[in-house]
């Protein structure tokens, strides 16, 4: 008998659930408030450039399965960023290497390709621009979802919540289910901390020659937390141009989250010009930004708490369940949840 599963969030964790359930009697329907899929592993196009303004790349680390998966999804357009990541400190001193060499994968068409390819092979139904507002557990044990237009979806045999923990906590607060497992799950999800990052993009009509792809501040003491050169990704920036992706430190980002882009970008460009010791960088020819209110998890949820409502069909998945803000870990977490739904784990 076909079972129907709803997944709130079509980021990499959400498509991971769908991937686990492909070619099985479990039918997965994904809902996302955004106009596309892939969540924080995001890509945008502007002025002839393509840029990943959330996650920068997929880094397999020790996990060989990631390389295998990427090969299965198709190597056309798969691109390794060859130049290394260096570091900078609170004083702006730049130093070579941070000891994590190895492939840094993205796609010529942008990092969203990962989720798009997974979703395509999973064949799951996706409803975009559908923000789920509340959830109800019906008397017969099934689940229904209601979106912000008041439309009801379901019934479903199970529901998986994958938004960042604070947004999942809001959904749990709006869940109609008189059961102590809901309270336990809600308290545990609500306790997961997320940090904020405002990403500012600075474009220049000239090339920037540097021996590194990116700089990261491992001490988190400089207002610039991360700075990378999008032109190091094949197919993203036309020759002779430079596009800097600047992820500001959490304190800076919270303080200036709502500051208009033009004035925030002026400040960022000054900081970048100073850090890279290049006065030309104070004057980008166009800028863009993205505020990530819930960018990366600073803590995670206890595994037993995360699973406490699973026998009633209520699941959570995502990077904050996996324990670290990484594309491949969020995907793997979603896939593992999917396997548990199938009863394969």
Ligand X SMILES: Cc1cc2nc3c(=O)[nH]c(=O)nc-3n(C[C@H](O)[C@H](O)[C@H](O)COP(=O)(O)OP(=O)(O)OC[C@H]3O[C@@H](n4cnc5c(N)ncnc54)[C@H](O)[C@@H]3O)c2cc1C
**In the complex, which residues of this chain contact ligand X (CB under 6 A)?**
8-14, 31-34, 39-41, 54-59, 131-132, 162-164, 167, 171, 197, 199, 247, 292, 295-296, 318-319, 325-327, 330
Please state the closest distance from residue 324 (CB atom) to ligand X, in A: 8
CB 208 within 8 A of CB 201: no
Please state the closest distance from residue 94 (CB atom) to ligand X, in A: 19
Q: Is 16 exposed, middle or buried (0-12, 13-18, 19+ CB in 10 A)?
A: buried
Nearer to ligand X, 53 or 203 (CB): 53
Distance CA 326, CA 275 (A): 27
Distance CA 203, CA 244 (A): 6
Please state the closest distance from residue 331 (CB atom) to ligand X, in A: 7
Nearer to ligand X, 133 or 282 (CB): 133
Nearer to ligand X, 232 or 295 (CB): 295
DSSP states of 255-299: HTTTS-HHHHHHHHHHHHHHHHT-GGGG--SEEEEEEEEEEEESS
Q: Is the peptide bond before 63 cis (omega within 30 degrees of 0)?
A: no
Nearer to ligand X, 207 or 302 (CB): 302
Nearer to ligand X, 58 or 341 (CB): 58
Distance CA 237, CA 141 (A): 51
CB 204 within 8 A of CB 281: yes
């Amino acid at each position: 008998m076909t079972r129907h599963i709803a997944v709130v969030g079509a980021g990499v964790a959400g498509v991971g659930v769908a991937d686990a359930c492909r070619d099985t009697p479990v039918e997965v329907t994904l809902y996302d408030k955004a106009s596309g899929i892939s969540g924080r592993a995001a890509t945008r196009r502007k002025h002839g450039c393509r840029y990943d303004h959330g996650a920068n790349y997929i880094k397999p680390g020790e996990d060989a399965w990631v390389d295998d998966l990427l090969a299965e999804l198709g190597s056309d357009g798969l691109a390794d960023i060859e130049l290394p990541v260096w570091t900078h400190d609170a004083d702006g001193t730049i130093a070579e290497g941070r000891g994590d060499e190895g492939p840094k994968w993205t796609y010529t068409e942008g990092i969203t390709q990962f989720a798009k390819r997974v979703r395509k092979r999973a064949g799951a139904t996706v409803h975009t621009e559908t923000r789920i507002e509340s959830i109800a557990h019906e008397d017969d044990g099934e689940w229904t979802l209601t979106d912000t237009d008041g439309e009801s979806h379901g019934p479903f045999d199970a529901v998986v919540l994958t938004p960042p923990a604070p947004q999942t906590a809001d959904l749990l607060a709006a869940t109609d289910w008189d059961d102590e497992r809901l309270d336990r799950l809600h308290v545990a999800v609500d306790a997961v901390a997320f940090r904020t990052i405002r990403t500012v993009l600075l474009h220049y009509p000239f090339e920037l020659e540097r021996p590194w792809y990116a700089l990261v501040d491992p001490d988190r003491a400089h207002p610039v937390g991360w700075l990378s050169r999008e032109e190091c990704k094949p197919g993203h920036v036309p020759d002779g141009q430079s596009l800097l992706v600047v992820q500001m430190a959490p304190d800076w980002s919270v303080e200036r989250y709502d500051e208009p882009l033009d004035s925030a970008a002026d400040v960022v460009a000054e900081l970048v010009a100073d850090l890279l010791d290049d006065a030309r960088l104070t004057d980008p020819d166009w800028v863009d930004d993205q505020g990530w209110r819930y960018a990366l998890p600073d803590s995670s949820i206890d595994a037993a708490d995360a699973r406490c409502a699973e026998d009633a069909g209520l699941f959570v998945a995502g990077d904050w369940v996996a324990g670290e803000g990484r594309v491949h870990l969020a995907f793997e977490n979603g896939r593992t949840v999917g396997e548990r739904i199938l009863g394969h784990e």
